[in-house]
A = this chain, B = another copy of it.
Amino acid sequence: MEPFALKRALDNVRSGAPLVHNITNYVTVNDCANALLAIGASPIMSDEPNDVVDIQTICGGLTLNIGTLNTRSVEGMFVAGARASELGHPIVLDPVGAGASALRTRTAGDLLDKLDVSVIRGNMSEVKALAGGASSTRGVDVCPDDAVIDDNLAASAAFARAFAAQTGAVVAITGAIDIVADGEHAYAIRNGSALMGRITGAGCMLSCLCTAYAVANPAALLDATVAAVAGMGLAGQIAQGRMSGYDGNGSFRTYVLDALYHLDGDALEAGAKVEQVA
């Protein structure tokens, strides 16, 4: 990775203020909007098939998150995705719960097949399910057997790189250790906090942030995604460092947004723990 690639990626988000169209679940949608605003992007939510073409047209990219998918919103995803592809806008796919239900696995697969997806962001169980391998997702959480740890890091990175090569997308697999890969290179990222598993929406927010980074850094998608992932992890660390006394996951959620709000390119460059693994 070039020097200052992460700083540049975030600086481009803050200076470009990209408009991001999100079709996402109703559980964490408010956090997604505030996370985008925190990093200087501007969110729009629209899932009605008759609305999404116009909305995508004025935006720079599209987040597709199947967390609470329904027949209408899935139709909206395909219509919006087709428009994004026409316009050359990046699409970020978050296959929430792929592997947990046939509908989710199939829908995520169809979106990946039929749209020009730029970034896939999920946990290892979800990404494995999407890749068609054996997977046993524990609901929307990663299956313990799938967790990326030092012992399986090289194999996990190879899987991510292979799946990236196959799909043409940057693949971001997040967990205790995060992996971000394109078809040629894979990075491990060791930022983050265990508390991020105790709030809903850390993954969903990150997927939306990936879209903002992708819009603002079209020629450096891999670096942009590493920056998004490391930045979210760093926000989690900063938030954890602020916890005291009676603070619990309610406060942590607020602190994550606050940390994203204050994160700048220099802090990201200084705090990111990124290593190339393949």
Residues of A within 8 A of B (CB): 19, 25-31, 33-34, 37-38, 42-48, 50-51, 54-55, 58-59, 67-72, 97, 100-104, 138-141, 197-201, 238, 242, 246-251, 253-262
Contacts A246-B262, A248-B258, A258-B249 given: A100-B44 contact, CB under 8 Å? yes
Across the A-B interface, give the 10 residue pairs with the lowest CB-CB distance, nearest first. A248-B261, A250-B257, A248-B258, A54-B101, A33-B200, A250-B254, A48-B70, A26-B26, A51-B103, A250-B258
Q: Do the beta carbons of B54 and A200 come within 8 Å of each other?
A: no
Residues of B within 8 A of A256 (CB): 250
Residues of B within 8 A of A26 (CB): 26, 29, 45
A276 to chain B, nearest CB (A): 32
Residues of B within 8 A of A103 (CB): 48, 50-51, 54
Q: Do the beta carbons of A251 and B254 come within 8 Å of each other?
A: yes
Q: Do the beta carbons of B42 and A141 come within 8 Å of each other?
A: yes
Contacts A26-B26, A28-B30 given: A259-B248 contact, CB under 8 Å? yes
| C-alpha spacing A246/B100, complex, angstroms | 38
Residues of B within 8 A of A68 (CB): 45-48
| C-alpha spacing A102/B141, complex, angstroms | 38
Contacts A38-B198, A42-B141, A139-B58 given: A104-B248 contact, CB under 8 Å? no
Q: Do the beta carbons of B42 and A69 come within 8 Å of each other?
A: no
A235 to chain B, nearest CB (A): 10
Q: Which of B43, B100, B250 contacts A253 (CB 8 A)?
A: B250
Q: Do the beta carbons of B37 and A249 come within 8 Å of each other?
A: yes
| C-alpha spacing A70/B238, complex, angstroms | 39
Contacts A37-B249, A249-B258 given: A71-B48 contact, CB under 8 Å? yes
Q: List 23 A-B contacts (CB under 8 A).
A: A19-B138, A26-B45, A27-B29, A27-B33, A30-B31, A30-B200, A34-B250, A34-B253, A37-B198, A37-B199, A37-B249, A38-B248, A44-B100, A47-B70, A48-B103, A51-B70, A54-B100, A54-B104, A242-B246, A248-B258, A250-B255, A251-B257, A253-B254
Which residue on B lies nearest to A28, using beta carbons? B30
Residues of B within 8 A of A69 (CB): 48, 51
Q: Do the beta carbons of B19 and A45 come within 8 Å of each other?
A: no
A16 to chain B, nearest CB (A): 13
| C-alpha spacing A135/B19, complex, angstroms | 18
Contacts A44-B140, A254-B251 given: A30-B27 contact, CB under 8 Å? yes
Residues of B within 8 A of A67 (CB): 45
